[in-house]
Amino acid sequence: MTWPPRTGLIMSKIIIGKRPFQTKQAAQQAVRAVLWRYQPGDIVQNDDAAFLLDLLRLHPHAQQKLGAGVHSFQVEAQGRSRGFWLTRLDGSRTDFSYRACLAPPTREAQALAGLRWAVRPQVETFRESAFEKTATLTCPVSGETLAPGNSHVDHDPPFRNLVDAFLQDIGRELGSLLVLPTLDGETITELVEPDVIEAWQRFHAWHASLRIVSAKANLRRPRHE
């Protein structure tokens, strides 16, 4: 075997360029260190940019993302968080998910993202309504005082439980739900079938139990969804 190995996944290690990481978590920490080293709108510099180029080559749609070649990487605001974008040599731009580079999303994960996007208006309406009634709320998990900037909307019971009940109701498997291809600059995943979208939105509106929780408390919760 040649050394150093090419950028890629080898056994349990993750190799980004010439940098080996023993676990996916260690690789994520290195990437997030780059992400939070810059402010939204900043251009990623020098070794960090080279690291991101190696990372991008792991993306399941690397050739599409690379296009004419990379001129520069940027950090941009994405809602309440931030993410990586790139500018190509021809001036076109697109975003890319570092999580997709480290673990390409399964069909089930894509379907879950599409289901979340389909009910996002309901979730945002719930958030706005909650804070219209009072300036601050108390997190039912941590007891923290909440404001719009430090809070998430949480499903309780969990979102995945609701999805499983919906799938049973319509007689479908999660992986059978189709999503649209993601185009340059898009950060959303949309379901394809209008009848499924409409049925899911009705089901969610009727059955979902939502609450406002601390962003920190929500992110610490075990993920089974």
CA distance linking residue 116 with residue 225, whole number of Å: 11
pLDDT grade, residue 1 (50/70/90)?
very low
Helix axes 120-133, 194-207, angle to 10 degrees: 30
Of the listed ranges 21-30, 57-66, 98-107, 144-153, the one predicted with least confidence: 144-153
Could you write out the DSSP letters of every residue in 122-170? HHHHHHHHHHHH-S-EE-TTT--EE-GGGEEEEESS-HHHHHHHHHHHH
- pLDDT given at position 73: 97
Amino acid code (one letter) for 160: R
- pLDDT computed for residue 45 by the predictor: 96
Segment 135-161 mean pLDDT: 85
Distance CA 110, CA 190 (A): 9
pLDDT at residue 95 is higher than 60: yes
Using pLDDT thresholds of 50, 70 and 90, give the confidence band for residue 184: low
End-to-end Cα, the chain, rounded Å? 39
**Cβ atoms within 10 Å of 99's Cβ, excluding its own:** 14
More confident residue, 183 or 59: 59
Q: Which domains does the chain have, with CATH numbers?
A: 8-102 (3.10.450.40), 107-220 (no CATH)
Is a pLDDT exceeding 60 seen at residue 223? no
213, 159 Cβ separation under 8 angstroms: no
Residue-level pLDDT at 220: 60
pLDDT value, residue 12: 46
Output the pTM of the full model: 0.62
In this prediction, residues 216-224 reach a mean pLDDT of 59
